[in-house]
A and B are shown apart, each in its own frame.
Chain A
Amino acid sequence: MQHDDVIWDIIGNKQFCSFKVKTKSQNFCRNEYSITGVCNRSSCPLANSQYATIREEKGQCFLYMKEIERAAFPARMWEKVKLSKNYEKALEQIDENLIYWPRFLRHKCKQRFTKITQYLIRMRKLVLKRQRKLVPLSRKVESREKRKEEKALIAAQLDNAIEKELLERLKQGTYGDIYNFPVYAFDKALEQQDAESESDAEEEEEEDDEVMGGSFYKSLCLMIEKVFYSERVFPFVQDVGQREFVAEDEVEESDLSDFEDMNKLKTSSDEEEQDESSEEEEEEEVQASRSKGKSPANGSLVRKKRAYVEIEYEQETESASRRRTT
């Protein structure tokens, strides 16, 4: 005979129930036929001989009923009724099948059925939305790719490639007139080329350009120098490599003995120096700001060629020392 109370007494409180899950606040029932998932006297499928549940299989809901008359036949114990897909009709079906059953079971069955239909609807909606696909990474492949990337980076030599490309674009003239050198210097160079035309015109052009430099101010200074000191302007100095031995007096201008001339020289050269130095300072600053101080200090080069005189002044400071002693 089915003694529900005895069964409950044993599995519910005193001894072991394999479906029971104990947590701090509550006990749960893991039995698949349980109608609520909680371990209770009224919702334990083992301790109630008249019991009903709703279960869902592949989107279809079924009503399972257990009756005391079939308690002796475990194979036939649960009666399975397929519920209609229409929500209201299914509720009517539940009512119809569980007529005269305890209120608790009827209510819980309907609640469970509602929950199940709700989650089925949500599942169907989610499938239509965007689904996130997780793509597994293979560690071997990833490390291999990383290695290949490093080697490719080394082989690429990016900085060189970029610089080369930019220089090529400059040569081809895609930048137009922006990076041009001062026009008259260029024309002068061209004239000189036409006059001589010994070697290739390109080589000379390149040399000229190289010599004149890129930045505006630098090229201006150097151009002035070159116009006066260039070997090409004075056609009588034709042999470039030949050595000429010159007497010392003619070269050394700083050894001037004449005091007046020295003064004159000094003031004029000083003025020039000041102007030039300020200009060069500016130019150096501009260059430094543009290229992080990598440009050579061209001011020194220019200063060397110009003649200048150094004069030291001595001042007597005896009065100060005398005062201190007394």
Chain B
Amino acid sequence: PKHTPPGTTFPPTFSVSEIKNKQRRHQMFMKLKQEKRKQKMQLKKKRRKEREALGDKAPPKEVPKTIENQRVFDETTVDPEDEEIAFDEGTDEFSAYFNGLTNPKVLITTSDRPRGRVVKFCEQLATVIPNAHVYYRRGLALKRIIPQCIARDFTYLIVINQDRQTPNGLVLCHLPDGPTAHFKVSSVRLQKELKRRGKAPTEHSPEVILNNFSTRLGHTIGRLFAALFPQNPQFVGRQVATFHNQRDFIFFRFHRYIFKNEKKVGIQELGPRFTLKLRSLQKGTFDSKYGEFEWVLKRHEMDACRRKFQL
């Protein structure tokens, strides 16, 4: 290297960041990186050779650390055999649905003066969820809508909030007196904007997939979503709605599937896609002032640890 003053030992004991000239500094940095990469490759090769040499006796491959691996153990994680939780779920607000007594009937509405994408989003949601009706909100108070809905046998109320003509919030209220969940909606893709899309969703009731809802809170939310759809899906329709929870983000997708053979299935996306993040869960129906909040997103506490998730 050009910068070694005479008399110093090799390797040169300067750091790359001390060079004032930008080009030369860049060159030295590139060289440094190349060296490092080379060493890494050599190390890898060596390890692979050792592993092959040992054959069966080689130590098992190290699993890379992911956030899911390192997740802080949540004490509210549901054990499949937990009796208390089974009992709870047998007697909570969804028990009527899960015992087959009620059929879901969903009312979709927006905040005041819906514009643009929100309207289309509502319509597409209505095609995805069977037995859903879209109603125009004419400045009515939610507290007055809710008794009317209950009187007309609705089981769910969805309110889509908007900000600059795109949906950004979702309030999901289970009607007789069920929990109300408030979500933040992001990355909404309408049906037109999807690539390689299939034709419009048909009237068949889709199947539901709920992934990764592991804690107690996650269970409640999972049941909240499950109760949106009718209990007996029509397999003829071959449609599936997925709610996938990953690191507290719930991804919604709607696909049509076909089994090519026992080992392979092809899926084709129809329908809108969006992501939800839970902001609050409230015990009764929608009541922002006096409601009893079961869970509220408190950013400072909850975002402090990267490996801790609530759902």
A209 within 8 A of B: yes
Would you call A152 and B247 a contact (CB within 8 A)? Answer: yes
- Asked if A130 and B260 make an inter-chain contact with CB atoms under 8 angstroms apart, the answer reads no
Nearest residue, chain A, Cβ from B236: A178
Q: Are B262 and A210 in contact (CB-based, < 8 A)?
A: yes
B29 at the interface (CB under 8 A from A): no
Interface residues on B, range: 35 or more
Q: Mark A156-193, 1 if CB is under 8 A from B, else 0.
A: 10110111011101100001101100000000000000
Question: Which of B142, B207, B246 is within 8 Å of A152, CB to CB?
Answer: B246
Rounded to whole Å, the gap between the CB of B212 and the closest CB of chain A is 8
In the complex, chain B residues whose CB is within 8 Å of the CB of A155: 66-68, 246-247
Contact status of A214 and B251, CB under 8 A, knowing A152-B246, A165-B209, A166-B257: no
Known pairs A152-B249, A153-B246, A162-B257. 5 more at Cβ < 8 A?
A: A145-B277, A152-B251, A153-B251, A162-B255, A175-B235
Are A210 and B141 in contact (CB-based, < 8 A)? no
Interface stretch, picked from B30-38, B75-83, B149-157, B263-271, is B263-271
Report which B residues bind A (CB closer than 8 A): 66-68, 141-142, 186-187, 207, 209, 211, 235-236, 240, 242, 244, 246-249, 251, 253, 255, 257-263, 265-268, 275, 277, 299
* Given the contacts A149-B187, A152-B246, A178-B235, A163 and B265 also touching, CB distance less than 8 Å: yes
Q: A153 to B265, alpha carbons, bound, how many Å?
A: 21
A residues less than 8 Å from B235 (CB atoms): 175-176, 178
Query: Shortest Cβ distance from A140 into chain B, in angstroms?
Result: 11
Which segment, of A35-43, A80-88, A109-117, A287-295, faces chain B?
A287-295
Question: Assuming A149-B275, A153-B251, is B186 touching A159 (CB within 8 A)?
Answer: no
Are A156 and B265 in touch, CB under 8 angstroms?
A: no
Which chain A residues lie closer than 8 Å to B259 at the CB level? Answer: 166, 170, 179, 214
CA distance A291 to B238 in the complex (A): 13
User: Is A213 close to B, CB under 8 A?
Assistant: yes
Q: How far is the CA of A209 from the CA of B257 in the complex (A)?
A: 20
A240 neighbours in B (Cβ, 8 Å): none
Given contacts A146-B186, A158-B242, contact A130 B258 (CB under 8 A): no
Query: Cβ of A163 and Cβ of B68 under 8 Å apart?
Result: no
Q: A159 to B253, alpha carbons, bound, how many Å?
A: 10
In chain A, what residue has the closest Cβ to B247? A152
Contacting residue for B260 out of A149, A165, A295, CB 8 A? A295
Tell me, in angstroms, the Cα distance from A57 to B199 when the chains sit together: 64
> Nearest Cβ in chain B — how far from A286, in angstroms?
12
Determine whether A148 belongs to the interface, using a CB cutoff of 8 Å to chain B: yes
Decide yes or no whether A304 CB sits under 8 A from chain B: no
CA distance A217 to B251 in the complex (A): 37
Name which of A155, A156, A166, A215 has the most chain B CB atoms within 10 A of its CB.
Answer: A166
A141 within 8 A of B: yes
Task: List the 10 closest pairs (A to B, CB-CB), nearest first.
Answer: A214-B261, A156-B246, A152-B247, A152-B246, A152-B249, A209-B262, A166-B265, A130-B141, A165-B209, A163-B265
Closest to A287 in B: B260
Cα distance, A131 to B69, chains bound together (Å): 45
In the complex, are the beta carbons of A159 and B267 less than 8 A apart?
Answer: yes
